[in-house]
Amino acid sequence: MELDRRRPGQSAITTPRKEADQVEILSGIYNGVTLGTPIAMMVRNTDQRPAAYDNVRDVFRPSHADFTYTAKYGIRAVEGGGRSSARETLARVAAGAIAKKILSVAAGVRITAYVERVQDISMPELETAPEAALVEANEVRCPHAETAERMIERIKAVRLDRDSVGGVVRCHLANVPAGLGEPVFDRLEADLAKAMLSIPATKGFEFGSGFAGTFLRGSEHNDAFVSREGRIRTATNRSGGIQGGISNGEEIVFRVAFKPTATIMRTQQTVDAQGNETELAAKGRHDPCVLPRAVPVVEAMAALVLVDQLMRQKAQNDVLPLA
Amino acid sequence: MELDRRRPGQSAITTPRKEADQVEILSGIYNGVTLGTPIAMMVRNTDQRPAAYDNVRDVFRPSHADFTYTAKYGIRAVEGGGRSSARETLARVAAGAIAKKILSVAAGVRITAYVERVQDISMPELETAPEAALVEANEVRCPHAETAERMIERIKAVRLDRDSVGGVVRCHLANVPAGLGEPVFDRLEADLAKAMLSIPATKGFEFGSGFAGTFLRGSEHNDAFVSREGRIRTATNRSGGIQGGISNGEEIVFRVAFKPTATIMRTQQTVDAQGNETELAAKGRHDPCVLPRAVPVVEAMAALVLVDQLMRQKAQNDVLPLA
Amino acid sequence: MELDRRRPGQSAITTPRKEADQVEILSGIYNGVTLGTPIAMMVRNTDQRPAAYDNVRDVFRPSHADFTYTAKYGIRAVEGGGRSSARETLARVAAGAIAKKILSVAAGVRITAYVERVQDISMPELETAPEAALVEANEVRCPHAETAERMIERIKAVRLDRDSVGGVVRCHLANVPAGLGEPVFDRLEADLAKAMLSIPATKGFEFGSGFAGTFLRGSEHNDAFVSREGRIRTATNRSGGIQGGISNGEEIVFRVAFKPTATIMRTQQTVDAQGNETELAAKGRHDPCVLPRAVPVVEAMAALVLVDQLMRQKAQNDVLPLA
Amino acid sequence: MELDRRRPGQSAITTPRKEADQVEILSGIYNGVTLGTPIAMMVRNTDQRPAAYDNVRDVFRPSHADFTYTAKYGIRAVEGGGRSSARETLARVAAGAIAKKILSVAAGVRITAYVERVQDISMPELETAPEAALVEANEVRCPHAETAERMIERIKAVRLDRDSVGGVVRCHLANVPAGLGEPVFDRLEADLAKAMLSIPATKGFEFGSGFAGTFLRGSEHNDAFVSREGRIRTATNRSGGIQGGISNGEEIVFRVAFKPTATIMRTQQTVDAQGNETELAAKGRHDPCVLPRAVPVVEAMAALVLVDQLMRQKAQNDVLPLA
Contacts with B52 (C-beta within 8 Å, 6 or more apart), sequence order: B283, B284
CB atoms under 10 Å from CB of C177, counted, come to 16
Assess C35–A contact: CB distance below 8 Å, yes or no.
Answer: yes
* Inter-chain residue contact B208 with A213, CB threshold 8 Å: no
Angle between helices D89-107 and D291-317 (to 10 degrees): 50
Cβ separation B35–D72 shorter than 8 A: no
**From the CA of D238, how many Å to the nearest CA of chain A?**
26
Whether the predicted pLDDT of A210 surpasses 80: yes
| SS3 track for chain C | CHHHHHCCCCCCCCCCCCCCCCEEEEECEECCEECCCCCEEEECCCCCCHHHHHHHCCECCCCCCHHHHHHHHCCCCCHHHHHHCHHHHHHHHHHHHHHHHHHHHHHCCEEEEEEEEECCEECCCCCCCCCHHHHHCCCCCCCCHHHHHHHHHHHHHHHHCCCCECEEEEEEEECCCCCCCCCCCCCHHHHHHHHHHCCCCEEEEEECCCCHHHHCEHHHHCCCEEEECCEEEECCCCCCCEECCEECCCCEEEEEEECCCCCCCCEEEEEECCCCEEEEECCCCCCCCCHHHHHHHHHHHHHHHHHHHHHHHHHHHCCCCCC
Distance CA B269, CA B284 (A): 18
In A119-178, the residues whose Cβ lies within 8 Å of chain C are none
D323 vs A contacts (CB less than 8 Å) = 32-34
Closest of D236, D251, D239, D265 to residue D306, by C-alpha = D251
H/E stretch holding B103 reads: helix B89-107
Helix and strand element counts for chain D (H, E): 8, 15
Given this model, what pLDDT does residue A217 score? Answer: 98
C315 has a chain B CB within 8 A of its CB: yes
CB contact under 8 A, A213 and B257: yes
- Each residue's pLDDT tens digit, A32-65: 999 999 999 999 988 777 787 888 888 999 999 9
Find the mean pLDDT for residues B130-159. Answer: 97
Q: How far is CA B223 from CA A60, B231, B248, B266, in A?
A: 11, 15, 12, 48
Report residue C115's pLDDT band, with 50, 70 and 90 as the boundaries: very high
CA distances from A322 to B74, B76, B83, C278, D305 (A): 11, 13, 17, 45, 19
Is B318's CB within 8 Å of C314's CB?
yes
Q: What is the mean pLDDT of residues C199-215?
A: 98
Q: Using CB atoms, which residue from A34, A311, A320 is nearest to D315?
A: A311
For chain D, report the end-to-end CA distance as a whole number of angstroms: 48
Question: At residue C50, does pLDDT exceed 90?
Answer: no
- Cβ of C33 within 8 Å of Cβ of B316? The answer is no
Beta bridge mates, C110: C174
pLDDT at A56: 84
Among A194-203, B169-178, C79-88, the range scoring the smallest mean pLDDT is C79-88
Best of C33, C42, C70, C83 to disrupt the A interface by mutation (most A CBs within 10 Å)?
A: C83
- How far apart (Å, rounded) are the C-alpha atoms in residues D157 and D175? 39
**Alpha-carbon B20 to chain mean position:** 21
What does DSSP assign to residue B165? B
Judged by CB atoms closer than 8 Å, whether chains meet at D36 and A321 is answered as yes
The per-residue pLDDT for C19 is 74
Secondary structure of residue D246 in the 3-state scheme = strand
**DSSP E strands, chain D:** 23-27, 29-30, 33-34, 40-43, 110-118, 121-122, 167-174, 202-207, 225-228, 231-234, 242-243, 246-247, 252-258, 267-271, 277-281
pLDDT higher at C242 or B22: C242
Whether D196 contacts C193, CB under 8 Å? yes
Q: Are B215 and A117 in contact (CB under 8 A)?
A: no
> Amino acid identity of C90?
L
Cβ contact, residue pair A216, B260, below 8 Å: yes
* pLDDT for residue C320: 77
Q: For B230-286, give the DSSP string.
A: TEEEESS-TTTTEETTEE-SSPEEEEEEEPPPS--SSEEEEEBTT--EEEEE--S--
Mean pLDDT of C122-148: 98
Q: How many helices (H) and strands (E) does chain B have?
A: 8, 15
Mutate to test the interface with B, among A217, A272, A310 (most CBs of B within 10 A): A217
Cβ atoms of D46 and D21 closer than 8 Å? no
In this predicted structure, the answer to whether residue A320 has a pLDDT above a threshold of 90 is: no
Q: Is the pLDDT of residue D239 over 90?
A: yes
Residue B168, classed as helix, strand or coil, is strand
DSSP-derived 3-state class of residue A168? strand
**B18 pLDDT tier (thresholds 50, 70, 90):** confident
User: Closest partner residue to B210 among A190, A203, A248, by Cβ?
Assistant: A203
Minimal Cβ distance to D37: which of A105, A106, A183: A183
Inter-chain touch A238–B63, beta carbons under 8 Å: yes
pLDDT in tens, A75-101: 999 888 888 999 999 999 999 999 999
When pLDDT is averaged across residues D136-148 and rounded to a whole number, the result is 98
List of chain D residues whose C-beta atoms are within 8 Å of the C-beta of residue A245: none
Position A284 confidence tier, pLDDT thresholds 50, 70, 90? low
Is the preceding omega at residue A321 within 30 degrees of 0, hence cis?
A: yes
Q: Which residues pair with C40 in a beta bridge?
A: C27
Give the one of D101, D311, D321 whose C-beta lies nearest to A34's C-beta: D321
Q: How far apart are CA D278 and CA A291, in angstroms?
A: 73
Neighbours of C106 (CB within 10 A): 17
- Decide if B155 contacts B140 (C-beta within 8 A): yes
Return the DSSP state at D31.
Answer: T
What count of residues does chain C have? 323
* B183 contacts in chain C (CB < 8 Å): 37
Neighbour-count burial of B43, counting CB atoms closer than 10 A to its CB (0-12 exposed, 13-18 middle, 19+ buried): middle
Q: In which band, very low, low, confident or very high, does the pLDDT at B150 lie, cut at 50, 70 and 90? A: very high
Model confidence at D126, in pLDDT bands (50, 70, 90)?
Answer: very high
Candidates C217, C230, C249; nearest CB to D260:
C217
Please state, in angstroms and rounded to a whole number, the distance separating the CA atoms of residues A198 and B184.
Answer: 6
Q: Which of A70, A92, A127 is nearest to A200 (CA)?
A: A92
- Interface check B105 vs C, CB under 8 A: yes
Q: Which residue of B has its CA nearest to C106?
A: B319
Q: Which chains neighbour B (Cβ–Cβ under 8 Å, 3 or more pairs)?
A: A, C, D
Q: What are phi and psi of C261, to 5 degrees?
A: -45, 135
Task: Name the phi and psi angles at A74, rounded to 5.
Answer: 75, 5
Between positions 43 and 82 of A, the ones with CB within 8 A of B are 60, 62-65, 67-69, 71-75
Inter-chain residue contact D198 with C192, CB threshold 8 Å: no
Compare CB distances from D314 to A35, A106, A318 and report the shortest one's residue: A318
Q: Which of B32, B315, B322 sits opposite C33 (nearest CB)?
A: B322
DSSP three-state, residue D310: helix
CA of residue C221 relative to chain centroid, distance: 27
CB-based contacts of A207, cutoff 8 Å, min separation 6 = A189, A192, A193, A240, A241, A242, A252, A253, A254, A255, B203, B204
Please provide residue C219's backbone torsions phi and psi, each rounded to the nearest 5 degrees: -65, -25
User: In terms of pLDDT, which residue wins out, D115 or D12?
Assistant: D115
Element (H or E) spanning B206, and its range? strand B202-207
Model confidence over C179-189: pLDDT tens digits? 999 999 999 99
Report the gap between the CA of D224 and the closest CA in chain A (Å).
25
